[in-house]
A and B are shown apart, each in its own frame.
Chain A
């Protein structure tokens, strides 16, 4: 079954958090958060442990009550409404499938509480079982299923009431790496087929990059950056985002000048170029730029243009490619960079000497 009958997707933002704060004892878990989740998208909350992403999710679900601020769901203020009366459903981290009920009864649980008629419940349950390819498991108990199957049951159960918003609390955490990759694709597919708004919490940045339409990076209760995976990866707004998402080189130096959108930086005596977006760095101002290792271009001989010399200080063979640690300067000893080395290039390099450059727009100067 390829689509799931349900309500038509909404045009606007499905949920908004306005100046939401939540405190636990002495800790401020969520600090004056403002967030808008667009309808129909797969949004991930990403961040390290304790950053507030789970708390925010639970606030959306109604399991925590905000100390300050408002939560508006589809135009309705739900801040004080308990979870059983919110049109939001959650897939829990441990799935929380009721052990004494069969898969079918688990899925039907929410429908029974809605007061639906028996025939309607059976119809809807069958729909969901087919949609999530659980057809033959209807009469089994949760403890007879594998991890991946249980996750699908948890999803089916959460989708049963056709909620406006679906929350997922690190649902892939307990799966092994291979299964996780497979389930990621399945989840993405289900999202596409239901057209619902998914809010997904994870601490794994690769996972977030793979699955999301939008990522909200959080740290210490605040939003660090909110954007598409490309934006976060190529144009990180802060040092935290740059280092949390993927590997990054931090290029620190003093501004020499800006010309036509490109800023030149004095990096340990070498002039390098980068781009600052949304602001203009002042001369002689100390700045930090984020440069992804794959953006560093290596040459065996000096190319035309503004490349500078460097030495390979160490190599790490990783199978598909080799990560190298570089030191700028003809004899090394200057600023350090991580880069990737292609095998063909490796053969042409003499005495670990390389020429290094990159495209200016790949070095994001952080505000």
Chain B
């Protein structure tokens, strides 16, 4: 390479200007870099892989490992002069108290119910979009549906608050229609929290469903009709099974996301709806020595939700979401 570079330089002085790449490639630094790379395919691959692998280990795996580590300590962050000891207490304390297990189970059940509700609500929407709208218009309508989601969870939660509050729009409508005399307390209940979370997560269900439905050739349903199947049968025995993977991705996504919300339950929910996210967060806003317990609870929650999601995917799909070719 350096030979070519020399010739390039010689030619340049004769020719006047040199091309940009010519100057870059002619520089000595690049030549050395190139020589270092050219040693072997293995070396080249190692250089390519170094940054991503290091990043993934340090930034993706590291926090989880550290959280696991802290969950076994008796005090973290350690005060001056204190040497933390290892203990299982943080983990066992979860199983001992009703005040911890109840929100945990409640959150799981709630999240599962909401996931199912979101599925039922968005499936018809996805179906309509994929099969009853002309191709050209599908993109536009999808865009329309995307717009509210760019705003962010806090603003959207706030919007729900305005909708459902005692002086909110729904109550206003109801009292105008003469249906009620006093405002119905929608807020700070499971209902308001449910509406809020479905509102926030419906896109994550809609997109995989739409994607699966859009790829479904209409010939399958037509063949079923040809063989005598009615509309509901066609749906139940042809369309639904063939969109299994989309349903699986959507449900898993929504489940994992909805268990992770903190702000929305705080704003829309009340004492009776305390979700586990609030319980866990509570350990981090008090004095530092509650961190290990919080870490343990987080680990428990992480393992449970990932296990549930994994089981669900195994049951529904063919294993793997086909993202990786």
A binding-site residues for B, Cβ under 8 Å: 82, 85, 112-121
A116 B16 Cβ-Cβ under 8 A:
no
Q: How far is the CB of B233 from chain A (nearest CB, A)?
A: 45
Q: How far is the CA of A202 from the CA of B20 in the complex (A)?
A: 39
Tell me what chain B mostly uses at the interface: helix, strand, loop, or mixed. Answer: helix
Q: Which of A82, A85, A121 contacts B19 (CB 8 A)?
A: A121
Q: How far is the CB of A196 from chain B (nearest CB, A)?
A: 21
B12 cross-chain contacts in A, Cβ below 8 A:
115, 117
A82 cross-chain contacts in B, Cβ below 8 A:
38
B18 close to A (CB within 8 Å): yes
Q: How far is the CA of A219 from the CA of B22 in the complex (A)?
A: 44
Contact with A along B33-52 (1 / 0, CB 8 A): 00000100000000000000
Q: How far is the CA of A85 from the CA of B3 in the complex (A)?
A: 12
* Extra 17 A-B pairs, beta carbons < 8 Å, given A116-B15, A117-B17: A112-B19, A112-B20, A115-B12, A115-B18, A115-B21, A115-B22, A115-B26, A116-B8, A116-B11, A116-B19, A116-B22, A117-B14, A117-B15, A118-B16, A118-B18, A120-B11, A120-B15
Q: Tell me the nearest residue of chain B to A111, going by C-beta.
A: B19
Q: How far is the CA of A121 from the CA of B19 in the complex (A)?
A: 9
A114 B17 Cβ-Cβ under 8 A:
no
A118 B8 Cβ-Cβ under 8 A:
no
Q: How far is the CA of A113 from the CA of B7 in the complex (A)?
A: 12
Q: How far is the CA of A265 from the CA of B130 in the complex (A)?
A: 72
Q: Can you list 7 A-B pairs with a CB-CB distance of less than 8 A?
A: A114-B8, A115-B19, A116-B22, A117-B12, A117-B19, A117-B22, A118-B16
Q: How far is the CA of A115 from the CA of B17 in the complex (A)?
A: 11
B17 cross-chain contacts in A, Cβ below 8 A:
117-119
A85 cross-chain contacts in B, Cβ below 8 A:
1
B25 close to A (CB within 8 Å): yes
B18 cross-chain contacts in A, Cβ below 8 A:
115, 117-118
Q: How far is the CA of A151 from the CA of B184 in the complex (A)?
A: 73
B20 cross-chain contacts in A, Cβ below 8 A:
112
Q: Which of B9, B14, B21 contacts A113 (CB 8 A)?
A: B21
Q: How far is the CB of B45 from chain A (nearest CB, A)?
A: 14
For window 288-305 of chain B, which residues contact chain A by CB distance below 8 Å?
A: none
B22 cross-chain contacts in A, Cβ below 8 A:
112, 114-117
A119 B15 Cβ-Cβ under 8 A:
yes
Q: How far is the CA of A30 from the CA of B19 in the complex (A)?
A: 41
Q: How far is the CA of A176 from the CA of B16 in the complex (A)?
A: 46
Tell me what chain A mostly uses at the interface: helix, strand, loop, or mixed. Answer: helix
Q: How far is the CA of A115 from the CA of B4 in the complex (A)?
A: 7
Q: Tell me the nearest residue of chain A to B8, going by C-beta.
A: A115
Q: Which of A113, A118, A119, A121 contacts B25 (CB 8 A)?
A: A113
B5 close to A (CB within 8 Å): yes
Q: How far is the CB of A114 from chain B (nearest CB, A)?
A: 6
A115 cross-chain contacts in B, Cβ below 8 A:
4-5, 7-9, 11-12, 18-19, 21-22, 25-26
Q: How many A-B residue pairs have CB under 8 A?
A: 50
Q: How far is the CA of A171 from the CA of B22 in the complex (A)?
A: 31
Q: How far is the CB of A322 from chain B (nearest CB, A)?
A: 44
Q: How far is the CA of A114 from the CA of B19 in the complex (A)?
A: 10
Listed residue (A117, A119, A121) with the most chain B CB atoms within 10 angstroms of its CB: A117
Listed residue (A82, A114, A115, A118) with the most chain B CB atoms within 10 angstroms of its CB: A115
Q: How far is the CA of A118 from the CA of B23 in the complex (A)?
A: 11
Q: How far is the CB of A99 from chain B (nearest CB, A)?
A: 19
Q: How far is the CA of A118 from the CA of B25 in the complex (A)?
A: 14
Known contacts A82-B38, A120-B11; A114 and B16 CB within 8 A of each other: no
Q: How far is the CA of A20 from the CA of B14 in the complex (A)?
A: 43
Q: Tell me the nearest residue of chain A to B1, going by C-beta.
A: A85
A113 cross-chain contacts in B, Cβ below 8 A:
21, 25
Q: How far is the CA of A201 from the CA of B22 in the complex (A)?
A: 33
B1 cross-chain contacts in A, Cβ below 8 A:
85
Q: How far is the CA of A125 from the CA of B15 in the complex (A)?
A: 16
B25 cross-chain contacts in A, Cβ below 8 A:
113, 115
Q: How far is the CB of A359 from chain B (nearest CB, A)?
A: 57
B8 A119 Cβ-Cβ under 8 A:
no
Known contacts A82-B38, A117-B11, A120-B11; A112 and B21 CB within 8 A of each other: yes
A116 cross-chain contacts in B, Cβ below 8 A:
8, 11, 15, 19, 22
Q: Which of B4, B5, B16, B38 contacts A117 (CB 8 A)?
A: B16
A114 B15 Cβ-Cβ under 8 A:
no
Q: How far is the CA of A85 from the CA of B17 in the complex (A)?
A: 24
Q: How far is the CB of B25 from chain A (nearest CB, A)?
A: 6
Q: How far is the CB of A116 from chain B (nearest CB, A)?
A: 6
Q: How far is the CA of A119 from the CA of B12 in the complex (A)?
A: 9
Q: How far is the CB of A83 from chain B (nearest CB, A)?
A: 12
A114 cross-chain contacts in B, Cβ below 8 A:
4, 8, 22
Q: Tell me the nearest residue of chain B to A114, going by C-beta.
A: B4
A119 cross-chain contacts in B, Cβ below 8 A:
15-17
B15 A118 Cβ-Cβ under 8 A:
yes
**The 7 nearest A-B residue pairs measured at CB:** A115-B8, A117-B15, A115-B22, A112-B21, A118-B17, A112-B19, A119-B15
Q: Tell me the nearest residue of chain A to B25, going by C-beta.
A: A115
Listed residue (A85, A118, A121) with the most chain B CB atoms within 10 angstroms of its CB: A118
Q: How far is the CB of B13 from chain A (nearest CB, A)?
A: 9
Q: How far is the CB of A104 from chain B (nearest CB, A)?
A: 13
Q: How far is the CB of A115 from chain B (nearest CB, A)?
A: 3
Q: How far is the CA of A114 from the CA of B5 in the complex (A)?
A: 8
Listed residue (B5, B8, B19, B25) with the most chain A CB atoms within 10 angstroms of its CB: B19
Q: Tell me the nearest residue of chain A to B24, going by C-beta.
A: A115
B5 cross-chain contacts in A, Cβ below 8 A:
115
Q: Tell me the nearest residue of chain B to A109, going by C-beta.
A: B21
Listed residue (A82, A112, A116, A120) with the most chain B CB atoms within 10 angstroms of its CB: A116
Listed residue (B16, B17, B22) with the most chain A CB atoms within 10 angstroms of its CB: B22
